[in-house]
Amino acid sequence: MSAGVGATAAIGVRDHCGWAMLVAIAGGPGAPQVLRRERVSLLDDPALPDQPYHAAAGLPLDSARELIARVEQCARRSAHDALASAVHQLAQDGHDVAGIALDLGAVGAGRMTLPGELATVLSKHHYLHGAEGELYHEALVEAARCAGLAVSRYDFKELRGIAARQLGLGVVERVDGLRSQVGSPWTRDHKDAALAALLLLDGGSS
């Protein structure tokens, strides 16, 4: 599960509320190689809810804002620690990390903090999911920038089509087939992270 020393790597991230799957890839779309894969915590305090906007709905507004701020702070710290550890281990193995690839998500969805706007987010269920997703996206983006890494974002809902167009037919099947290289588990989260990392390595536009 390694490539030659000195190979440039990219880290693809498939994040969820409170955790993420990280996959580090080297090589090109014709022969991708998995350097690292791991599930990492984006919220290392078990006392905090991984869906803070849902938990804050129904609380007084000041209490809701305080709870969300605590989760944001913890998510930033956890994302920084997870990404720094992954980059350090890759560097120890002789790999330069070109950047990280994230889901585009609903950029800015529900992330409204001015007076009155948070109340609107908390009152509409579809805003809650967008706000929580973007909270973790922002934590990862900040962690990447602190580590000096480029950030590319892709629409993961369209990722397989984007990869096929930009990296060539057959790349999706090759990534799916990496299970034979790395063994189980090799889930859709792993595959999406790997495809996004390959797009970044290839210089694909976000």
Domain membership of residue 1 (yes or no) is no
Domain membership of residue 3 (yes or no) is no
- Domain with residue 95: its CATH number is 3.30.420.10
- Domain count of the fold of the chain: 1
C-alpha torsion 84→86→90→95, nearest 10: -70
Domain membership of residue 52 (yes or no) is yes
User: What pLDDT tens digit does each residue of the chain (206 aa) get?
Assistant: 445 567 899 999 999 999 999 999 999 999 999 999 999 999 999 999 999 999 999 999 999 999 999 999 999 999 999 999 999 999 999 999 999 999 987 555 545 554 468 998 999 888 898 899 999 999 999 999 999 999 999 999 999 999 999 999 999 999 999 999 999 999 999 999 999 999 999 985 55
> Residue 37 belongs to what domain range?
8-201
Domain membership of residue 206 (yes or no) is no
Domain membership of residue 129 (yes or no) is yes
Domain membership of residue 2 (yes or no) is no
Distances in whole angstroms, Cα of residue 25 to Cα of each of 45, 108, 133 = 29, 28, 24
pTM of the model: 0.90
Domain membership of residue 41 (yes or no) is yes
How does strand 8-16 pair with strand 19-26? Answer: antiparallel
